[in-house]
Amino acid sequence: AGGAAALDEVMATGFSHGLGASPANRELVEWMRRENRTRDPADRLRFDGFDAPLEMMSAGSPRGPLQALHGYLAAHVDAGRLRSDAATIDRLAGDDTCWTDTAAMLDASRSVGDTPAARELRVLADDLAALLTVEAPTLVAASREAWDRARLDARTATGLLRYHAILADPAPSRVARALGQRDAMMADNLNAVAEREARRGPTLVFAQNSHLQRVPSTWRLADMDLRWWSAGAITAATCGDHYAFVAMAIGSAPARGLGSPGPATVEGVLAGLPPGIHPTADIRAALRDREVLPRTDMTPEHGYFPLDPGHLQGADGVLYLPEV
């Protein structure tokens, strides 16, 4: 969007989970940079990540976003309004490795999310987030982009603190609640992006089906049957027909060991249609009077969650890729 950084630096620091090493992502960023050179600054293409700073077996420390939020407010708001300082945040946050301890995902007693310091941080984060709204007229007038970034820091800090508090709860529902909290954070980010981009047109979002579908998301993990609402379901509930969901399904992935789908699966039926996006009504017509079974030939190494036949009711269409 007009930045001067070298492309290698952008790919190394602008993406998490090694996705900056993807040739396709590099090509996308190069193309966007070329496109934006001829566009008015107000009409430049934007690329947003909307997931929370969470891993499969750990969650980030709230220190970074809290310090960024506090620094922004300290530069624009009278110090007497803050009721906290950077040193207090550092003291309460403590050692970041305590927050990211992977043992806390499976053992609530290892989580620091409900300690006195964590509870104090949640109140502090809530106060700072509220101050962003209270002072919005002045802050937005100075820079809407900087205010939006501060709101992102506020959402991230408060969301992370809620997530860690859930991990500290030994109740059996903690994992499902944690998954729901992650998607709630994703939904908040989606709404912020859509709000920013509304005057320019629609926003294309890409994520795994379980984060965007309208129907409840489910996952069988260890001995737990987990169920939660996805970011898409939350967004669709508030946006109505302004939200559309196109599910994705793939046939095979030879490099990952995933073979061709069985003929009685959704993917098998889609294999008889041309590659591309198909309206759900067309797929239902192809499935009429046929018994369709969920696909079962996957392993975790394949990296693929099959398309549940029952989820078609919540999709506006399906993008089918015969081979990945």
pLDDT at 312: 87
pLDDT at 272: 87
Mean pLDDT of 304-318: 89
**Is the pLDDT confidence value at 293 over 90?**
no
**Is the pLDDT confidence value at 114 over 90?**
yes
DSSP state for residue 108 in the 8-state scheme: G
Mean pLDDT of 34-56: 89
For 141, half-sphere exposure in the C-beta direction (CA atoms, 13 angstrom radius) is 5
pLDDT band at residue 308 under the 50/70/90 scheme: confident
Q: Which two tokens stand for residue 54?
A: 């969470």
Alpha helices in the chain (DSSP H): 7-13, 23-37, 63-76, 86-93, 96-99, 116-134, 136-142, 144-167, 174-197, 209-212, 231-239, 266-270, 280-287
Mean pLDDT of 165-191: 95
Q: 279: Cβ–Cβ under 8 A, 6 or more apart, which residues? A: 316, 317
Mean pLDDT of 11-23: 92
pLDDT at 4: 86
**Is the pLDDT confidence value at 243 over 90?**
yes
- Residue 252: count of CB within 10 angstroms of its CB: 20
pLDDT at 290: 84
pLDDT band at residue 322 under the 50/70/90 scheme: very high
Q: At what angle do helices 144-167 and 174-197 cross, to 10 degrees?
A: 170
- Helix/strand/coil for 54: strand
Of all residues in the chain, the percent with pLDDT exceeding 90 is 70
